[in-house]
Amino acid sequence: MVGTPIRGNGPTTNPIDSLLVDMTTKLGSIKVPAPVFTASGCAASGKELDQFFDISAIGGMVTKSIMLQPRSGRATPRMAETASGMLNGIGLQGPGIDEFIENDLAWLENRKVRTVVSIAGSTVEEYGKLAKKIKNLSWISAVEVNISCPNVESRGQVFACDPVASAAAVLEVRRSVGIHTPVIAKLSPDVTDITVIAQACVDAGADGVAMINTLLGMVIDTSQMRPVLSGGTGGLSGPAIKPVAVRAIWQVHQALPNLPILGMGGIRSGKDALEFILAGASAVSIGTMIFNDPSAPWRIQKELRDELGKLGFAKLTDAIGYAHTIFEGSK
């Protein structure tokens, strides 16, 4: 289900006009004309961003992860700045799947935006119920299974930290959503070997993976002598995690070169995005940078095209995983 092996054919010997670069890419069976998406949780359903650029002109929107029932999220404070990043402990605040379909997804459909719906559950059964709710929305591009959530059936262990739990959630979504909707598993970096989790998700029916989710972190207020966030810990995002993200993508692409990867984690520019592509990502998502520059997805998409042209790549797909070819050839 994951397609043919992806290793770039290589650039030409000279730079080319960036306007001639073919930016088309695929995530499993999803073929999109552009490789830049939003990251889940940073732009809701895109209504706010649409005033800054045409959100239908990028690869697509990945919605904020939605759960079965409405959630108010954690108490404040639930966000904190850090050196080169930010911590968030929002707690998956959201309206619940029914209102989400009626309002957010209806707006995206009307706006003709390519949409990846991110879902999150606390049990395997919840993932299945969520998938069934969106099964008949044929215009949706894919489902992202956010498995970086505590599994209440397993003493609160995060799904994505265990290959068996990860596979169970993905398999339930695959069964519930049917064979025609691509399923993308969102992976956590807080594991010993991320390739093991990726393999388990593929074996369970995932068409691709989104990586990486935030890293678990903490900030302490030294004047109050206690954690800043109300929940204690939160997810670290932003430029600080980019090297971790590039490493994780490199490892998964090396182990599973057939597997489409939606890469994310601290991307601020087209050159940053190019790193992810060269490491093995088929497309990228922009998250924390949106808070500083709401037009970042569109800007980075243009910058990435320019970077590919400078290197002589006629097609983005030729650059996917190309750093592996150079690295292996230098040994």
Q: Which residue has the tokens 């709401």?
A: 294
User: Does the annotation mark 149 as catalytic?
Assistant: yes
Strand 79-82 relative to strand 61-62, pairing: unpaired
Looking at this protein, which amino acid is placed at residue 159? F
Q: Which of 42, 149, 161, 201 is catalytic?
A: 149
CA distance readout (Å), 154 to 37, 103, 201, 302: 32, 33, 18, 44
| Measured CA distances, 97 to 63, 93, 123, 278 (Å) | 12, 12, 15, 36
Distance of CA 48 to the CA centre of its chain: 19
Give catalytic residues, as residue numbers: 149
